[in-house]
Chain A
Amino acid sequence: MRISMNVKTKLKVSLFSLVCLMGSAHAETILIKDAKIVTLGEQGTLDSADLLVRDGQIAQIAEDLGDIPADLVIDGRGKVVTPGLIAPSSELGLTEIGAAASTNDGAIEEQSIGAGFDPVVAFNPRSTLIPFNRAGGLTRAVVLPYSSEKVFAGQGFAIKLTGDFDSVTKPNLVQRAYFGEYGAELAGGSRAMAYAQIANALAQAKEYSENRDQVRRGEWRELDYSVEDLESLQPLLRGEQPLMINADRASDILQLLALANKYQLKLVLVGAAEGWMVADQLAKARVPVVIDVLGNTPDAFEKLGARMDNAALLHDAGVTVAISGPGYAGSHNSYLSRQAAGNAVAYGLPFEEGVRAITANVAQTFGMDAGVLAPGNAAELVLWSGDPLEVTSFAELVMIDGKPQSLVNRSTRLRDRYLTPKAGTEHGYKK
């Protein structure tokens, strides 16, 4: 066992967290000393180094910063610092309880709108999912709508997991759509129809943009989509917004690459279970993939080639790989992208690439200013108790914009209330 902790060290950690939090109001400089630092930037991975945070930014990273003064000094010996984790696909802030309809804002039914649906105003930064995932080391996420009717689900956005009311960092980040088996189901039963609907929407969006005034004045032929939908597709056509679209089967992926080429779209491919079969084409087209590493079962006919080393094979071919939380665990456990990345490494992905796939590659894919530790960058990082991809490690410090974040959440609150369950009424008075 790599990590062993007794009661004594637990107290130390609690105290440590408390110090951080108390310090956060005043600590303008924080120094992490003698930690392994995986920067994913020019400095690479430093086996033992110091990292200084000043005014919310990383001020310095060096092998030895000496006795540089700091408001808070953290002993990083035996621990590892990485950039904060970024979820490439989640519903954080749009769902509370999956099977409770009233707590879900990620999709609409029986409405004419598709691509134009924008759930950003429904985002709830006070969702219980946010402190829980943050305690797991997640500092940012892409939040996506989903669809049970149309091939276009609408607009995704980006958040920070501070829980603050202003924690949406970028609205209109990405357009979400479906191809493959699910796209076919939504389009009436065939991939061919899903493809036609996507191509037709793009063609009409182009037609609309070239004849906008006539369309609005009603002097143009009737188009199949609402003005909201057609407007929302414009950033795709201008190459300003990626189209985040599902496909798992190798032939489906190639069809999407051709479509993207035709309309000069920026694609982000989701799923890509058989991506390894067309990895060279994906690399050549510079299309990044968001994959579910643990989804290795051939649980659909479009995933017959699913395998554990998909991430490694894609990476070897030069594809940018972003790793999502395991699909079977859902949005509530988005932070488990870390366990998925650990498995990808177990099956051949180099360690540093495993870390990159849940941080820098996600940031790069979605154009976020995050994911790399370097002087001048915002101090958004995690101090791990050990190997950051190991299931026995955990986040001891999560920092966003230089502020240590609370690691308390309902899981820890319920744990502390019921550590020694017994009859009586006392549990009702435990905080």
Chain B
Amino acid sequence: MRLFSESVKGFERLCVAVCGGLLVSTLVACGGEDKKAANGPDFARQGDFPSTYVPQESAPVLIRGATVLTGTGEKLLNSDVLLEDGKIAKVGKDLKVPKKGLVVEGAGKWVTPGIIDVHSHLGDYPAPSIESSQDGNEMTSPNTAQVWAEHSVWTQDPQFPLALAGGVTTLQILPGSANLFGGRAVTLKNVPGRSVQDMKFPGAPYGLKMACGENPKRVYGGKGTLPSTRMGNVAGYRKAWTEAAAYKEKWENFHKNGGDEPERDLQLETLAGVLNGDILVHNHCYRGEEMAIMMDIARDYDFQISTFHHAVEAYKVADLLAENKVCAAMWADWWGFKHEAFDMTEANIAIVDQAKACAMIHSDSAVGIQHLNEETAKAMVAGQRAGFHIEPRHAVAWMTSNPAKALGIDEVTGTLEKGKMADVVVWSGNPFSVYSKADKVFIDGVLMYDRTDSARQPHTDFELGILDAEGERLPEGGQQ
């Protein structure tokens, strides 16, 4: 039971997400539209803590003769992938070997886009898990839209390099799920950084974490304040969106007509950023009924929900998700830790996918994030057993291009299309095998992880001299 309680704690880490001004066109792709008035107020505040991530200069990389899953639905046999200037330069047969740079022999190996996890708490709930490092859930008010997950990120969390060894190149860090509005989520590149800004995905829109169901009503009902019921939850959302709409209008009037500058409210600013389409809603929501209610609220207040997270019952409303262009991020087989997670089917992702909604795997776990390829494989097989024709070339999108869509970064990463960021994993074999491992992981064309070269395996500050004063956490050659 202790293990169980720990799992529940994980699920209390509720989330939020948003689309950003720098990638307005991708916002359209994830179902919204550009509602931002030209020169209108800046609610998203992308510039307040700007990304300082700059990829190292890197020589070209040619991965030669591999099986390539492009993330766009194709499986290419015996093909090459060329990375140049941090971008995907070319995918095809018999590409010319660059004059300088790295040639990776791909015989027997598979290549995919880097894995993207839309739901993580790394850095906010770092390892080791001790009381003073639990920074992911501001459980002091049902609406904490003013808090930003990035302000809690401990960049030295040793779980970041473990996720990298699992092929994860991009991840969204969300606040927990205790609150109706948990705060802003941030999208990171999985690179070592001294500051969170060093890891921030350039231009990625912010997310707003919202939560349905049991968690908010339990946390606040327990304190004798609203919400203590699911209907209380909904009243809380509607009240906040009503206030946010008025706030947005006030600022837009000021921008248009001048006059006295309205008072700035950090909480309403985040919600207004959703209403003008700059910030993406990432909504922890298990039940079909609640997803349907949330989509009505979104229509009423004229915003777009990017993604329902956890979404154990997404399969029940998959047609509604497709119609409303809302993604669902799911587990392969977790269930039963609470009532709203009781109606699990292993075919969840496949059913959502076959209903033409945007489906993806997610982890919400420092362990699960290291095995998203295996989790995707299980979900794919569950779909095949349900009678759907689903192959790896299609299922790979559940861990790459679909989460990129959910995060509003699909124009720049998530597939192996020319011109996209060279976020690439070379697998030892078919990634949908338990025996395959990420051999090499490139982020923006830079070799960030190499299983065969300990000099290209990052370690956090925390890991130095910790079990052996003269060594690292694990002995040389130790398998993390």
Q: Please list the residues of chain A having a beta carbon within 8 angstroms of any beta carbon in chain B.
A: 1-7, 10, 13, 91, 95-100, 104, 106-107, 128-129, 146, 148, 182, 294-301, 303-305, 307-309, 326-333, 336, 339, 342-343, 345-348, 389-392, 394, 410-412, 414-415, 418-423, 427
Contact = CB atoms under 8 A, between A and B. Distances in A.
A95 B7 CA distance: 14
Contacts of A410: 343-345
B214 interface: yes
The interface centre, meaning the residue of A4, A129, A389 with most chain B CB atoms within 10 A of its CB, is A4
B473 A304 contact: yes
A7 B387 contact: yes
B432 A391 contact: yes
Q: Categorize the interface residue count of chain B.
A: 35 or more
A326 to B, nearest CB: 7
The interface centre, meaning the residue of A146, A299, A420 with most chain B CB atoms within 10 A of its CB, is A299
Contact of A100 (B5, B317, B339): B339
30 contacts: A1-B392, A1-B430, A2-B433, A7-B387, A95-B336, A97-B342, A98-B4, A99-B214, A294-B371, A295-B367, A299-B159, A300-B128, A327-B367, A328-B367, A330-B3, A330-B7, A330-B336, A333-B335, A348-B479, A391-B374, A391-B377, A391-B433, A411-B333, A411-B344, A414-B343, A415-B345, A415-B347, A419-B347, A419-B387, A421-B317
Contacts of A298: 127-128, 158, 463, 473
Interface stretch (B79-87, B173-181, B251-259, B378-386): B378-386
Contacts of A329: 7, 333-334
B230 to A, nearest CB: 15
Contact of B434 (A106, A129, A389): A389
Per DSSP, chain A at the interface is loop
The interface centre, meaning the residue of B3, B214, B344, B366 with most chain A CB atoms within 10 A of its CB, is B3
Given A305-B467, A305-B473, A296 B378 contact: no
Contacts of B370: 294, 296
B6 interface: yes
B115 interface: no
A394 B10 contact: no
B355 A304 contact: no
Interface of B: 1-8, 10, 127-130, 158-159, 162, 214, 315-319, 333-339, 342-347, 351, 354-355, 365-368, 370-371, 374, 377-378, 380-382, 384-387, 389, 391-392, 430, 432-437, 463, 466-467, 473-474, 478-480
A328 B387 contact: no
A328 B337 contact: no
A294 B378 CA distance: 16
A262 B347 CA distance: 52
Contacts of B342: 97
Contact of A423 (B159, B315, B319, B365): B319
B293 to A, nearest CB: 16
B1 A308 contact: no
A308 B479 contact: yes
Contacts of A297: 127, 158-159, 162, 366-367
Contacts of A98: 1, 4-5, 7-8, 336-338
Contacts of A100: 338-339
Contacts of A10: 384-387
Given A96-B336, A301-B130, A330-B336, A307 B391 contact: no
A298 B5 CA distance: 18
A303 B467 CA distance: 10
A155 B128 CA distance: 31
Given A10-B385, A98-B7, A411-B345, A301 B2 contact: no
